[in-house]
Structure 1
Amino acid sequence: MTTQRIVLAVTGASGPQYAYALASALSGRQDLELHLILSEAARKVIALEADFAPDALIALAHKHYSEKDIAAGPASGSWRHAGMIVCPCSMASLAAIAQGFGTNLIHRAADVTLKEGKPLVLVTRETPLSLIHIKNMLAAKEAGASIVPASPGFYHKPKTINDMVNHLAGRILDQLGIDNTLFKRWGE
């Protein structure tokens, strides 16, 4: 069995619970390696919003990187991986990715993911959206990214916040073709 690398980048947008659900679903799988990039802003948001510490998220990854480590593997097109998720994706990170600004490891790794034709999933988290946000989403989509707004569904009749978080996490993993049972699918 071949082990595939998945890159999960966490920015300073609200909703680090989504990243934790993704990391939990990917951790411990024999067929995947989770490579985590955690921004300084994400660390601050985790401290303000989450019931877990950044170290708990880091512990779920095979390897983690600082956003400042632009010499890390994910910054290079020759470093092989199966896809990248930016979750949650701040509007500042969306703008940098959409415009090709490789100002940190998250932005550079996303740029490399696109140029190498690998799946890039941007889990945007903002409301309401400005015209600038919408144009940046369009630019990222036209460049090959999948835009998955952090908008939970209700057709699976969630009973808890975790049900809503897991639903979105499962839909994100679907974008990379990663099998999961995080939510009840329509018609099942």
Structure 2
Amino acid sequence: NMFFFPKVRRQLKAEVAAQFDAFAATGLTLDHVNTHKHFHLHPTIASTILKVGKRYGLRAMRVPLEPHDVLRKADPHAKLPSALATAPWAMLSRARLRVAGMRVPDAVFGLAWSGAMTSGRVLGLIENLPDGLSELYLHPATGPYPGSAPGYRYADELAALIAPRVVEAARNSAISKGGFADF
């Protein structure tokens, strides 16, 4: 465990700083942080990201808490993965991040159906979003690309975002739309 090894924690800090440096070099505005496969749920990694990230203007982080009751309303026939292994860590992480002053969504949608968000699912989510701040995320693209995830339906996710029914539902809802920095 990296918590017990100072050398490993130093390597972690150097890697996190290198990632923030690489992003800063793009000139893009830092909107939020999330990590591949949500490694930032690990308390030592989360603490390091917070410490280093604040120097780069970090104000928000994704916490993968996806309410299954909303997913069932959005697509009653979909098989849902268990979140038993990650939910306790995610809840702890959300509490720690909020105490640290980070903006954290109350719910995140796109985990269970990563790479498979259809217009029906997006529409179902729009119609059933819980109160509070929710993040809906997709991986829209015109098709696979070098390094793309096998099995992800990128073009379907793009089509879901621009489907007339979805656009109309989003437009007619009371939902505030934007990126993390907008909230």
Do they fold alike, i.e. is TM over 0.5? Answer: no
Structure having the higher helix fraction is: 2
Give the TM-score normalised by structure 2. Answer: 0.33
Give the TM-score normalised by structure 1. Answer: 0.33
Structure whose alpha-carbon radius of gyration is higher: 2
